[in-house]
Structure 1
Amino acid sequence: MDRFVSTYVLRLDAKGRISVPAAWRALIARDGLDHLYCHPALDRPALDAGGMRLMAGIDTLIERYPPYSEAREELAAALYGAIETLKLDPEGRVTLTESLKTHAFIKDEVAVVGLGTNFRIWEPGRFRAHLAEANAKVRALKQGLGDQGATREHRGEAT
């Protein structure tokens, strides 16, 4: 596996730790890391986490802006400045800090959701609501794409 895929619902243990799925730990270890990077998502009550590909994505985003520009400095502060390095223990667990849990409204369970190059950590109820909204948007997009194809076929255009 070379992507963070699937969704897992996990309980925090008494020390506030979660177990990172084994396949995901292997991806992080392949980067040569014994930790993962985690920061509050900029636009939702969730956490973004991962290894070097998460960091590369942040680098690419920030590098779109000219050096010393206000936008670049704001993004760098919001992303690099908020990243926490979460050390993996020998059993593959990490401890979520209070500030991370507060941002994502996490109490005793999390949903960890693969996003390909990284993963997102949610409070499970908030993730279910987000997923329902995302699925509705995808259904509407699919319907729109189907309607476009049917319209072209009706007019005799190639699809």
Structure 2
Amino acid sequence: MEEFVSTFTNRLDSKGRVSVPASFRQVLMRDGFEGLYCCPTLDQNAVDAGGNRLLQQIRASLGRFEPFSEDHEFLSTTLIGESEILRLDGEGRVGLTETLKSYAGIADQVTFVGQGYKFQIWEPERFAAYRSEARNRLRDLRQRLVPGSRGPASADPGGLE
């Protein structure tokens, strides 16, 4: 199964379009989704993006709630009501809407972050701060989960044993 992996930063062109990384476009093509499904992340100022696999996860999350319940309505408002489907042009670019750019704080550059079944679209400086926080939290988690693991000075947060 194809996954969205790695991190890429690209510039928006003068028309507000950005080139989606080629490896991400290949995953979308194999996924069979026409375009790019985008919605605000639930807890960060970034955009979740993907295709059918992202939509399956959204449906599964919504399925945990009783239809017409307040929680279902809140979640569906954000993940469906605030979503947008962007079309890729022949050169693999998408035009980010003003709504998405405003939500994520994007001006002239975009960072694409692979997360397996989906990817996120970030303003690069916001992502750098988030990545730093994620690494620090991973170090803390590792210390709690792996007895005898290296302390916070460790340069290898990804080496969970």
Provide TM-score, normalisation by structure 2. 0.88
2:31 counterpart letter in structure 1: D
Q: Distance in 2 between matches of 1:144 and 1:75?
A: 32
Q: Distance in 2 between matches of 1:125 and 1:77?
A: 28
Contact 2:32 2:52 (C-alpha < 8 Å) held by counterparts: no
1:59 counterpart letter in structure 2: R
Q: Distance in 2 between matches of 1:56 and 1:45?
A: 22
**Which residue of 2 is the match for residue 63 of structure 1?**
63
| Bigger mean CA offset, 19-28 vs 126-135 | 19-28
1:16 counterpart letter in structure 2: G
1:40 aligns with 2:40: yes
SS in 1 for 2:56: helix
How far apart are residue 148 of structure 1 and its match?
7.4
**Which residue of 2 is the match for residue 156 of structure 1?**
none
How far apart are residue 33 of structure 1 and its match?
2.6
The share of aligned pairs that are identical, in percent, is 50
SS in 2 for 1:110: strand
Deviations 1:87-108 (Å, cap 9, x if unpaired)? 0000010010001000000000
SS in 2 for 1:27: helix
SS in 1 for 2:146: helix
Q: Distance in 2 between matches of 1:67 and 1:103?
A: 27
Pairs within 5 Å for 1:63-102:
63-102=63-102
| Bigger mean CA offset, 35-44 vs 140-149 | 140-149
**Which residue of 2 is the match for residue 26 of structure 1?**
26
Higher-Rg structure is: 1
How far apart are residue 126 of structure 1 and its match?
0.5
Number of residues of Structure 1 aligned to a counterpart in Structure 2? 149
Give unpaired runs (5+ residues) of structure 1.
150-159
**Which residue of 2 is the match for residue 152 of structure 1?**
none
SS in 2 for 1:2: coil
Q: Distance in 2 between matches of 1:92 and 1:37?
A: 15
**Which residue of 2 is the match for residue 109 of structure 1?**
109
**Which residue of 1 is the match for residue 15 of structure 2?**
15
How far apart are residue 45 of structure 1 and its match?
0.7
2:68 counterpart letter in structure 1: Y
**Which residue of 2 is the match for residue 146 of structure 1?**
146
SS in 2 for 1:121: strand
SS in 1 for 2:68: coil
Provide TM-score, normalisation by structure 1. 0.89
Give unpaired runs (5+ residues) of structure 2.
150-161
